[in-house]
Amino acid sequence: MNKVYSIASQKGGVGKSSTVLNLGTALSLMGKKVLCVDLDPQGSLTICAGVKKPDKLTHSTYTLLNAVLDKETLPESGEYIVPCEKIDVIPCNIRLAAFETNRGHEMGVQKTLQKALAPLREQYEIILIDTGPSLGVLTANAITASDSVIIPVTPQLLSAVGLKLLINTVETVKEHFNPNVVIEGILMTMCDTRTNLYKKITKIMEQMTVSLSFRIFNTIIPHSTNVGEANLRCQSVLTFDGQCKPSQAYMEFAKELMSYA
Ligand SMILES: Nc1ncnc2c1ncn2[C@@H]1O[C@H](COP(=O)(O)OP(=O)(O)O)[C@@H](O)[C@H]1O
Ligand SMILES: [Mg+2]
């Protein structure tokens, strides 16, 4: 079995990049071979995974996408994949923003990442794609390249409100570019389960998902400063403190996700 997941939400700060890094690490601790792809020009995943000097990268998702779109011969995968602790990463930097502006209107551009990842699907059991806070051409590429989409939601109203737009985007990609893609589920992140806000938002999400064909995952990622501490150290939270609550939650989530695969 090998599978490609996008972690997507047009809302920033909901835990997409943290989830890619920590879920990726948890899956690798389960013995899976994991590749994480940074498709957000802000490059948070690249930085948090510990890639040094992103601005100086010779190869990145930007150069890879351009090479595929220009039908050039791709470099050896070892040249653009960076080993980081327990996972491998295709990093990026701010230049990736230019892909959207300069090449976003070209014919078939939505399938560029899918083509780039096709040979790598043989080498990795799990590929996780980190996306930016927009529903533009880069996120369309991520969803087109994926089997499944995971949507992180925080217990804040604005985080839940944009959901319909994202669901529509997945439907559009399904119709035009990738008939097999599904929404795997909603992952509640940064939760303090004792608060009223958490209870209210969970209720809203449950009501929303009743009419839809995807789940809210059983695993809930708690709010914990350890995640930010680990990010600061360019580590996954599991490396920073394997026993803390968010580390255990990401391990639980990795197991839950694999139980649906
Ligand atoms: N479970 C958590 N508890 C507390 N803070 C978190 C948690 N997950 C992420 N964060 C912090 O929230 C901020 C946004 O997270 P990030 O993963 O970058 O979100 P996104 O990629 O959606 O913009 C970061 O500063 C990160 O350290
Ligand atoms: Mg991010």
CA-closest residue to ligand 1 atom 24: 228
Give CA–CA dist 181/78, Å, rounded.
28
Give CA–CA dist 47/37, Å, rounded.
12
Is the CB of residue 46 below 6 angstroms from any atom belonging to ligand 1?
Answer: no
Q: How many CA atoms lie within 13 A of 104 on its CB side?
A: 13
Is the CB of residue 75 below 6 angstroms from any atom belonging to ligand 1?
Answer: no
Give CA–CA dist 140/30, Å, rounded.
30
Q: What pLDDT score was predicted for residue 58?
A: 95
Q: What pLDDT score was predicted for residue 81?
A: 97
Sheet of 126-131, strands arranged across: 82-84, 87-90, 34-39, 126-131, 3-7, 148-153, 182-191, 215-222
Q: What pLDDT score was predicted for residue 209?
A: 83
Return the H-helix or E-strand segment holding 22. Answer: helix 16-29
Q: How far apart are the first and last CA of the chain?
A: 8
Between the CA of 17 and the centroid of ligand 2 the distance, in Å, is 4
Is the CB of residue 11 below 6 angstroms from any atom belonging to ligand 1?
Answer: no
Structure tokens that stand for 14 in this block: 């909901």
66 vs 112, 116, 251, CA distance in Å? 8, 10, 35
Structure tokens that stand for 244 in this block: 């803390």
What are the residues whose beta carbons fall under 8 Å from the beta carbon of 15, sequence distance 6 or more? 152, 154, 187, 189, 190, 221, 227
Judge whether 35 and 159 are in contact, CB under 8 Å. Answer: no
Instruction: Say whether 253 sits in a helix, a strand or coil.
Output: helix
Q: What is the dihedral of CA 174, 164, 38, 103, to 10 degrees?
A: 60
Is the CB of residue 61 below 6 angstroms from any atom belonging to ligand 1?
Answer: no
Give CA–CA dist 169/164, Å, rounded.
9
Q: Which of 17, 18, 231 to mutate to test the pocket of ligand 1 (most atoms within 8 A of CB)?
A: 18
251 vs 48, 151, 165, 204, 254, CA distance in Å? 19, 18, 30, 26, 5
Structure tokens that stand for 116 in this block: 């780039």
Between the CA of 22 and the centroid of ligand 2 the distance, in Å, is 13
Q: Tell me, what amino acid is at 135?
A: L
Q: What pLDDT score was predicted for residue 162?
A: 77
Of all atoms in ligand 1, which is nearest to the CA of residue 18? 17
Q: Which of 9, 131, 227 to mutate to test the pocket of ligand 1 (most atoms within 8 A of CB)?
A: 227
Between the CA of 15 and the centroid of ligand 1 the distance, in Å, is 4
Q: What is the pLDDT along the chain (261 residues), one digit of tens a residue?
A: 799 999 999 999 999 999 999 999 999 999 999 999 999 999 999 999 999 999 999 999 999 999 999 999 999 999 999 999 999 999 999 999 999 999 999 999 999 999 999 999 999 999 999 999 999 999 999 999 999 999 999 988 776 777 889 999 999 999 999 999 999 999 999 999 999 989 998 888 888 888 888 899 999 999 999 999 999 999 999 999 999 999 999 999 999 999 999
